[in-house]
Amino acid sequence: MEILHVSAECYPVAKAGGLGDVVGALPKYQTAAGHIAKVVMPMYKTKFLYNNQFDVVHKGYTNLGNWWFIYTVIKERNNALGFDLYLVDINGLLDRDKIYGYDDDSERFISFQIAVVDWLASWKHHPDVVHVHDHQAALIPFMMKHCYRYQHLRDIPTVLTIHNAEYQGWLSWDKSYYIPAWDTWKSGLLEWNKSINALACGVRCAWKVTTVSWSYLEELRWAANGLEALFEYEKGKCYGILNGIDTKVWDPATDTYLENHYDIKSNAAGKTKNKEILCKRFGLDIEKPLIAFIGRLVGEKGADLLAQAIGDSFYYIGRKMNFLILGSGASYIQDGLERVSILSDGDFSIFIGYDEALSHVIYAGADFILMPSRVEPCGLNQMYAMRYGTVPIVRATGGLRDTVKDFGDPDGYGIRFSNAIVGDITHALWRAVQLYQEPLLMEELRRRMMRLDFSWETSMQQYLDLYASL
């Protein structure tokens, strides 16, 4: 089968979160299974671009409304990622340092999508499926089906995967002329709540829609940032397929970011050595359980609850644990956490920023990973943590609910709590501190988690079955 993935992120080229991890891994496994998986994404100014070689495969000329532009598609030459990688260059628009966060993001990503469809229209053959990811690519199924100039692409099956439905790609109607001409009576497909909504349009127009866990799909029917009714209505064509993790990149026995490698048998010693590195670097006490948080510091992740939960834990449980936070995001959350860290007595440290290498050492060296998410479509952190023998403390929502069993249940291994509120988090932290007092049980849970299989093989097969059904 030939699959064309369209995405704004792909690890290691450019990643802001889980989307990048998934699009960097799934095509690799599809290619290894004998399929042709291609990824096309914007050409940002990244290290990857400068450190690899590319060939120009296509040059085109198209328009975003009245603005005509040249785009170039380049292909990575040496199969560095294990699949065919194509980058779309639109001078001045996509070639920037950051992936998102510009005032003209709408123009950037709509131009990207137009360029991708335009390029696809120039192919001499058709791929078996076009698999688009999140709202930055979600207008493509509409364009392929309903825009006059791409009519010959209308029979190519499309799949939309929603990695996060909070972000939907809203566009006011006065910019509707950006989208290549279509039958105006189809306008309703583009609209949600009086504006153009790329994600809603993708849900309506893609042949099939997937979310990155079953529970998230269920939850979207009552909490989807305004799209609840749409998910209820379209539930017949929606499927939940849990993300896998790239077990080649994320393996404590070979992880290139780690100085101290370990496997199931040597987990206790290996983790202690990595913990030592962290405690030394961040001035923490090695004797106490190390509880870490890695991720975007935003309300969706429950990061706004951390400062109070940490303060309350110190007050109610005592200073019996260390906290280490790696992340960046909303300034009010960062400021709040930095204020708490001033009160640290060698038991709380925070690193503001994005640091891939540090995240690996934390997965390896921490005893617990805390994820108090309000929304978690799949969540990769808990899967990485478990592969590294780090006990996840999670709010049971979305993918966290699907992947973490509480250690109080038969064959359980993690700590679950029900509500994204400070009281529930503090209680879960108390359970973690109690658990840490029992080294034999900790060792058993670590071994149990490290044996779990979150590899891509199962999920990849589910995607292939879905494509085949189209």
Shortest Cβ 337–ligand ADP spacing (Å): 13
Select from 18, 141, 302, 398 the one that contacts ligand ADP (CB under 6 A): 18
Shortest Cβ 284–ligand ADP spacing (Å): 18
CB-nearest residue to ligand ADP: 18
Shortest Cβ 298–ligand ADP spacing (Å): 9
Which residue stretch of 28-36, 123-131, 179-187, 291-299 sits at the interface with ligand ADP (rule: CB under 6 A)?
A: 291-299
Shortest Cβ 213–ligand ADP spacing (Å): 10
Nearer to ligand ADP, 127 or 392 (CB): 392
What's the first-to-final CA gap in the chain, in angstroms?
A: 12
Select from 42, 180, 302, 327 the one that contacts ligand ADP (CB under 6 A): 327
Shortest Cβ 15–ligand ADP spacing (Å): 7
Q: What is the distance between the alpha carbons of residues 299 and 24, in angstroms, rounded to a whole number?
A: 26
Per rule CB under 6 A, is residue 354 in the interface with ligand ADP? yes
Q: 220-228 long-range contacts, Cβ below 8 Å, gap at least 24?
A: 220/162, 220/165, 223/375, 224/165, 225/165, 225/166, 225/168, 226/168, 226/192, 226/193, 227/165, 227/168, 227/192, 227/197, 227/199, 227/200, 227/203
Nearer to ligand ADP, 118 or 376 (CB): 376
Nearer to ligand ADP, 90 or 362 (CB): 362
Per rule CB under 6 A, is residue 380 in the interface with ligand ADP? yes
Which residue stretch of 105-113, 125-133, 275-283, 373-381 sits at the interface with ligand ADP (rule: CB under 6 A)?
A: 373-381
| Cβ-Cβ contacts under 8 Å for 439 (sequence gap 6 or more) | none
Shortest Cβ 250–ligand ADP spacing (Å): 9
Site size toward ligand ADP (CB under 6 A) is 19
Shortest Cβ 23–ligand ADP spacing (Å): 11
Joined together, the tokens standing for residue 30 give 């599809």
Here's the x/- map for ligand ADP, 238-277, by CB under 6 A: it reads as ----------------------------------------
Neighbouring CB atoms inside 10 A of 414's CB total: 27
Select from 381, 390, 455, 459 the one that contacts ligand ADP (CB under 6 A): 381
> Are the CB atoms for 324 and 349 separated by under 8 Å?
yes
Nearer to ligand ADP, 156 or 278 (CB): 278
Per rule CB under 6 A, is residue 296 in the interface with ligand ADP? yes
> Are the CB atoms for 94 and 44 separated by under 8 Å?
yes
Select from 138, 199, 249, 294 the one that contacts ligand ADP (CB under 6 A): 294
Nearer to ligand ADP, 88 or 380 (CB): 380
Q: Phi and psi at residue 277, in whole multiples of 5°?
A: -60, -45
| Residue 78 burial by Cβ neighbours in a 10 Å radius (0-12, 13-18, 19+) | exposed
Neighbouring CB atoms inside 10 A of 146's CB total: 21
Nearer to ligand ADP, 17 or 60 (CB): 17
Which residue stretch of 111-119, 275-283, 288-296, 303-311 sits at the interface with ligand ADP (rule: CB under 6 A)?
A: 288-296
Joined together, the tokens standing for residue 380 give 């990769």
Joined together, the tokens standing for residue 344 give 């640290």
Alpha carbon 58 to its chain's center: 29
Shortest Cβ 379–ligand ADP spacing (Å): 4
| Residue 60 burial by Cβ neighbours in a 10 Å radius (0-12, 13-18, 19+) | middle
Nearer to ligand ADP, 46 or 266 (CB): 46
Nearer to ligand ADP, 19 or 43 (CB): 19
Here's the x/- map for ligand ADP, 161-180, by CB under 6 A: it reads as ---x----------------
Select from 355, 421, 430, 431 the one that contacts ligand ADP (CB under 6 A): 355
User: Residue numbers of the site for ligand ADP (CB under 6 A)?
Assistant: 17-19, 21, 164, 294-296, 326-328, 354-356, 359, 378-381
